[in-house]
Amino acid sequence: MFISLNPDSDVPVFQQIHDELVLAIARGQLSDGDKLDPVRRVAKDIGINPATVKKAYDLLVSDGLIETAGRSGSIVRPGAHTETQERQLAEQLGRVVALARAQGFSPDELHTHLSSTLKHLEVSS
């Protein structure tokens, strides 16, 4: 498993690890049931404290994306890929709706634009 960290980032290292793994799940690079590398191996490969990796894994557990079984390791939880995609879609739609509302669009206008866009995309496909 390859995790890319940005040492110059303001984002904490555990959060960067978490975010990289969430992206890997969303992209299908990690699939349901895939085993994650052990905490100590990841820490050694990256050159960081194992507690930092454990914190990232614990966050993934609390997100419902992985399951841990003690010394047996951690696996991607069944359904995590779909849930991750749905969560990302909800976040993106939330940003679009917030921006549109800030620009003065009413809920009815948003619905009309969304319906029109969906119809246009269906015709284009």
Q: What is the DSSP string of 23-92?
A: HHHHTTSS-TTPBPPPHHHHHHHHTS-HHHHHHHHHHHHHTTSEEE-GGG-EEEPTTHHHHHHHHHHHHH
Do 90 and 70 lie in a common domain?
Answer: no
Report the number of distinct structural domains present in the chain: 2
Do 25 and 62 lie in a common domain?
Answer: yes
Question: Is residue 49 one of the residues assigned to a domain?
Answer: yes
Question: Is residue 22 one of the residues assigned to a domain?
Answer: yes
Do 51 and 94 lie in a common domain?
Answer: no
pLDDT at position 40 is: 95
Indicate whether 33 pLDDT > 90: yes
pLDDT in tens, 35-91: 999 999 999 999 999 999 999 999 999 999 999 987 889 999 998 888 877 887 888
Do 71 and 88 lie in a common domain?
Answer: no
Do 21 and 43 lie in a common domain?
Answer: yes
